Amino acid sequence: MKMERFDPLNGSIAHVLDILGEGWSMLIIREAFFGIRRFEEFQRHLGIARNILTSRLKKLCENEILERVPIKEGAKRHEYLLTSKGKELMPLLIALTQWGDKWIYGEGQEPIIFRDRDSGQPISPIRVHAADGRELRPREMIPTAGPGANRQAQERLKELLELAHEMERS
């Protein structure tokens, strides 16, 4: 059963997890960011079974994260390229990496460090910022119903807003 069916907020996280929630998909996307394009390369670098790789690549293409294109015009072989939608997953990939580095490996034990190509310096940690540029902490944010919220989500978000107001008063 799809994850989104369990989410009373009908939120984007459940939909994203339906597409990317199992481990191989994010690893395939990571490899695509590293420049891997061909089926055999994904298989070699990840050690993934052919049938699983086929299934994951198909799903990523169906969801327009990757695009399957002929290697050259008229060729039978294909390669997989990140779409614009797929490229926008970069902050998620970086955030997952940084979280894992901090909480799984620990400082000084990072398996991969992303660096600025020009300066060679490690990139900054992913943070959430207000529209004016201020860094926000979790207590400084509140989820509100957007235009796509269904009735159940609107009611749940109203409860969360009331709870947040109660917490502020206490």
The predicted-structure confidence for 105-114, as pLDDT tens digits, reads as follows: 999 999 999 9
Of 74 and 82, more confident: 82
- Cα-trace Rg, the chain: 20
Strand partners, 67: 81
Q: Which of 4-18, 58-72, 146-160 has the highest mean pLDDT?
A: 58-72
Residue 9: the pLDDT is 66
**Residue 1 confidence class, pLDDT cut points 50, 70, 90:** very low
The full set of domains in the chain, from first to last, is 1-88 (1.10.10.10)
- Say which amino acid occupies 65: I
Mean local confidence (pLDDT), 9-14: 73
The predicted-structure confidence for 54-76, as pLDDT tens digits, reads as follows: 999 999 999 999 999 999 888 78
**Least confident piece of the model among 8-12, 24-28, 38-42, 135-139:** 8-12
| DSSP-derived 3-state class of residue 82 | strand
Establish how many alpha carbons lie within 13 A of residue 70's alpha carbon, considering only the half-sphere containing its beta carbon: 5
The predicted-structure confidence for 88-100, as pLDDT tens digits, reads as follows: 999 999 999 999 9
Q: pTM (2 decimals)?
A: 0.82
**Residue 2 confidence class, pLDDT cut points 50, 70, 90:** low
Are 71 and 77 contacting, i.e. CB atoms less than 8 angstroms apart?
yes
How many Å apart are CA 122 and CA 46, to the nearest integer?
25
Residue 160: the pLDDT is 85
Residue 166: the pLDDT is 79
How many Å apart are CA 3 and CA 6, to the nearest integer?
6
